């Protein structure tokens, strides 16, 4: 092999390595970040509902059964212009037996007035008579919260363990 051929092969190998390194960096940037939403919501179990409301604000809906157990509902919704009927409205109410339950209302099928509301995420906190959160539930495909969400919305008494920041 001539020195010129060796130099040419070295350049091709360097370009291949550079291309592979660039592709690897591009793929690494596409890796999704950790979803802290479930841990953040669950951090409130055992806390007082009034403390939660200081951080999360007023719930979208609330119902209390005759025994004093309450359900607090937080909804995340998005709006867009759509040309199809939306799903039913979701809330909480009391059943005939007096128990708190999730309720629905018929969807809006009037295309002229349909705002295109789609429910993205539903969080339910259940409390006992003393206002202590006894259970948490999350419904929805798009319930996502990153580190900033977790730092802002976690129970301060039970902070969520966050992953160390990535070196960039």
Phi, psi of 166 (to 5 degrees): -80, 145
Which three-class secondary structure state does DSSP give residue 121? strand
49 Cβ partners below 8 Å, 6+ apart? 70, 72, 125, 127, 131, 132, 133
> 138-160, pLDDT tens digit by residue?
988 778 888 888 889 999 998 77
Q: Where in the chain are the domains?
A: 1-31, 37-158
> 78-95, pLDDT tens digit by residue?
555 555 455 555 666 666
CB atoms within 10 A of CB 148: 9
Q: What distance, in Å, lies between the first and last C-alpha atoms of the chain?
A: 42
DSSP state of 158: G
Is residue 150 within 8 Å of residue 162, measured between CB atoms? yes
> 20-43, pLDDT tens digit by residue?
455 454 544 444 578 889 999 999
Percent of the chain with pLDDT over 70: 52
């Amino acid at each position: 092999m001539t020195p010129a051929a060796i130099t040419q092969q070295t350049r091709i190998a360097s370009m291949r390595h550079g291309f592979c390194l660039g592709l690897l960096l591009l793929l690494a940037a596409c890796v999704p970040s950790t979803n802290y939403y479930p841990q953040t919501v669950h951090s409130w179990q055992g806390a007082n509902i009034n403390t939660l409301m200081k951080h999360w604000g007023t719930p979208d809906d609330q119902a209390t059964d005759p025994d004093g157990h309450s359900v607090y509902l937080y909804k995340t919704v998005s709006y867009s212009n759509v040309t199809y009927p939306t799903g039913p409205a979701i809330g909480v109410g009391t059943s005939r037996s007096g128990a708190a339950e999730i309720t629905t209302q018929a969807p809006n099928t009037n295309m002229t007035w349909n705002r295109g509301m789609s429910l993205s995420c539903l969080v339910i906190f259940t409390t006992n008579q003393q206002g202590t959160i006894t259970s948490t539930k999350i419904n929805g495909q798009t319930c996502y919260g990153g580190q900033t969400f977790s730092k802002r919305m976690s129970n301060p008494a039970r902070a969520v363990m966050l992953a160390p920041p990535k070196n960039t």
